[in-house]
Amino acid sequence: MKKISWWEPMIGESERALVNDVLASNFINDGKVTTDFENRLADLLECRHVVAVTSGTAALFMSLAVLNIGPGDEVIVPDATFIATVNAVAMSGATPVLADIDPVRLTLSPESVSAAITPKTKAVIPVHVSGRAADMEKITKIAEAHGLHVIEDAAEAFMSKGGGRYLGAFGVTGCFSFSPLKLITTGQGGVVTTNDEAVMNRLRQIKDQGRLGRSTGVDYVIPSIGYNFKLTNLQAAVGMGQLETLDWRMARLRGHYRVYERELDGIEEITLPGFDVENGEVPLWTDVLAERRDELEAYLRDNGIDSRRFWIPIHTQPSYRADGANFPNCTQAMNKALWLPADFDLTEEDVKYVCDTIREYYTKLA
């Protein structure tokens, strides 16, 4: 039977060679390669500053820390996201306040944001789910009207554009993840982007124990509280290698999406939230809303095809349980949402096979 994997990270010869160079240099900490990686990403994302960190979660936490958001403050997050978005808020000491999503785009609903604002609200974190832009125009307007900060969770949206700009450029900061399921990976890792120099300087302090600039010893005054969120030269070398195939990676994912869009057309039980590929949205993982989703997933598995069910709503997670909470769009969509295989290696024929299998499943049901 054909085996179709959902996703596999792709590591090439360049990564190996660049990592070997770092090993040979004997400087495996955060250093020149990390800085080169940051500069390269700033060019690619057309932003002023990039700070490399240990993960997307760290990027989100650091963004809250820069803004002095903590205990007593509220931060609005979508009910549909990877739990890291909410955990980062909890880590800051602030209270995450959940809001519903748009039923079509599956991203934070601006109306729901408005309804969740209280005098304690300090920030809102829209999430660009699967690489699809949240409604940044409306969310930014609401935030401005209420004096809220916008922090973008662009963990799934590296190189994706919305409203003519790279996602991550709308908020005070943009937070990216380079975990293994992303467009490029450094194993673990991420970056914070910003156009504000003061924010960048604070981020650099927060990522390195409150220090700014390289350590020269131990007996000196450290001006602020910080932690350790440094990305090493070794990880950055992997990232630099991955960037060599960036265009190819994006082209593969766009190609998969186009086949899905074409081949799933006409299947009544399937709805594609879709991507605005023409305007630069990068479909990291093609997602669909599927009737009888769990049975479909099992049928695909029986036919050698790996797919992934979306997260369960955050308000149903034990750590953030909100009994009586009412997020109807999220509750409905999370029962239906499925990520179809997006592995770089899939051929057009493979993607067609996935679509044919989906069609076959629903035809059998009829």
Ligand X SMILES: Cc1ncc(COP(=O)(O)O)c(C=O)c1O
Footprint on this chain of ligand X (rule: CB under 6 A) = 55-57, 81-82, 84-85, 127, 153, 155-156, 177, 179, 190
The closest alpha carbon to 293, from 338, 246, 226, 324, belongs to 338
| Complex with ligand X: residue 55 or 233, whichever CB lies closer | 55
Q: CB 303 → ligand X: shortest distance, Å?
A: 27
Distance between CA atoms of 171 and 156, rounded to whole angstroms?
Answer: 16
Give the CA radius of gyration of the chain: 21
| Complex with ligand X: residue 85 or 331, whichever CB lies closer | 85
| Complex with ligand X: residue 33 or 167, whichever CB lies closer | 167
Q: CB 157 → ligand X: shortest distance, Å?
A: 9
Q: Are 269 and 291 in contact (CB under 8 A)?
A: yes
Q: Which residue is nearest to ligand X (CB)?
A: 56
Distance between CA atoms of 184 and 235, rounded to whole angstroms?
Answer: 12
Provide the pairing of β-strand 74-78 with 121-124. Answer: parallel
- Among the residues of 120-168, which ranges form H helices? 136-146
Q: Which residues share a beta bridge with 293?
A: none
| Complex with ligand X: residue 81 or 173, whichever CB lies closer | 81
| Complex with ligand X: residue 186 or 303, whichever CB lies closer | 186
First to last CA, the chain: 25
Check residue 50 and report its DSSP letter. E
Distance between CA atoms of 109 and 99, rounded to whole angstroms?
Answer: 7
Q: Are 4 and 256 in contact (CB under 8 A)?
A: no
| Complex with ligand X: residue 156 or 297, whichever CB lies closer | 156
Distance between CA atoms of 265 and 245, rounded to whole angstroms?
Answer: 31
Q: Are 364 and 13 in contact (CB under 8 A)?
A: no
| Complex with ligand X: residue 90 or 222, whichever CB lies closer | 90
| Complex with ligand X: residue 190 or 273, whichever CB lies closer | 190
Q: CB 82 → ligand X: shortest distance, Å?
A: 4
304 CB-near residues (< 8 Å, 6+ apart): 1, 2, 3, 4
The closest alpha carbon to 8, from 200, 132, 181, 169, belongs to 181
